[in-house]
Copies of this chain bind each other. A is one copy, B any other.
């Protein structure tokens, strides 16, 4: 019998490995063009390095070297003093996409999905054919391991080109070296700018960076302690979707529906669990695996109808008002700084904190648009500015009331730099390249409140400064008229003109001193 069409077509169907998929769609991961590729490679390596150090409670010291090998070809070397990686994990971590420790853990970290660094390795292999070179050492008494790795894109598995134990002077840490096709430029979206911005929101990190022009920048830490450690949390019932709840029920080891709820969710105590089960018509002793779809649907509905307190927020670690300001001072030479760290909020069951900072005046141009620095989990976001939530919240804030110019739908104009930081267990990015935050109303609302709070302080400063300027002008006018006024007074009172001039100058001096003192108080109020 002749084959029917479907039988002929069936032979063509096959699996696509995730590595092949991203190899072809590399622009989805931030490898659209040569310039961005350089930044993306550095960013993924540095983010991983800092995450690793923090997990090991080590003050991060990261060394970044970019060497120009030939036209369009660069070598990127990133080295950290983190915990190192055990031998058998090295190939998977660097040469397998979707492999990592952070996807299944609910706590704030820079990395999330286990794609970033292996995507950088994939890009390197695609554009130069060179293997990634890794060195890692986990303690003084262990040997260092050296690997040369490729990714077998048909299977998304590591291909080990070379492995050996070597001597490494470091006690512990990891080093990665990648050759890539790239181009280097200075400016807003450059590696230089990424490194500087990273230093602002990571005051506890030291970065030593050598760019392709062989210029070395040392960003020394300005904080002496690590940020508080982020604690992993369980999901909050309000954030769970029906399909996920169903999966949790099926895979649960708990003995009863009651213990399922109290064990696997945050903020569900015995009382809350009972209430949910009562409302869903499920007996507390029911075994989770005996719950069918209608039960789980009822449970879902009951959760929505039950008051449950907000999730704990020790899974997120904001930078803090003071450190944010200190970081901003290190970067921007301004005359006035203000910063705000809001209290935690929740969207889709996920806790988050918004922080904002403003640097006003100084050497910043008054006739240009404000500079906006966006961050998520302490990582600078350099692309897709206008499509993200941070931009939207700045644009929707009324900057005129704080003394800035602003036309509809634009950033304010004036000598200011604005920082917006979102810290969260799961920042909602608009793409795998993690370039912008999605427009969640809860997040935009918090960002606007933070900007208003920081903006008001700037507004007060700007207005006081205006008043002081006006007073100064009045004093200057008075000074110019002293000889004339003194002459008139001398004629009227018959007193000596020189004496009157002298008295008036004394009065003026006191008045000036008062204005100066006032100015200092004004600054002192906010410098602390």
Identify the A interface with B (CB < 8 A): 4-7, 9-10, 12-18, 20-21, 23-25, 27-28, 32, 55-56, 83-86, 88-89, 92-93, 96, 98-101, 103-105, 113-114, 125-130, 138-139, 142, 153, 172, 241-244, 246-247, 293, 296-297, 387, 426, 428, 430-432, 438
Of all chain B residues, the one with the shortest Cβ separation from A247 is B153
Are B9 and A56 touching (Cβ within 8 A)?
yes
Bound-state CA distance A448–B428 (Å) is 35
> Are B15 and A99 in contact, with the CB atoms below 8 A?
yes
Given known A-B contacts A6-B83, A6-B138, A101-B9, A243 and B126 have beta carbons under 8 A apart:
yes
User: Chain B residues with Cβ under 8 A from A98's Cβ?
Assistant: 15-18, 21
CA separation between A10 and B7, bound complex, in Å?
46
Contact A243–B113 (Cβ < 8 Å): no
Residues on B with C-beta less than 8 A from A113 are 16, 21, 25
Chain B residue numbers with a CB within 8 Å of A83 are: 4-6, 9
Closest to A428 in B: B27
Point out the residues of chain B lying under 8 angstroms from A18, CB to CB. Answer: 18, 98
Given contacts A16-B98, A28-B432, A129-B293, 11 further A-B contacts (CB under 8 A): A4-B84, A10-B85, A13-B100, A16-B113, A18-B98, A25-B113, A32-B438, A128-B242, A128-B243, A153-B247, A387-B387
In the complex the two chains form, is A13's CB within 8 Å of B99's CB?
yes
Chain B residues, CB < 8 A from A14: 99-101, 104
Contact among B9, B114, B153, B430 for A16, CB-based, below 8 A: B114
Pick from B9, B56, B101, B127: contact of A12, CB below 8 A: B101
CB distance from A252 to the nearest CB of B (A): 14
Are B86 and A431 in touch, CB under 8 angstroms?
no
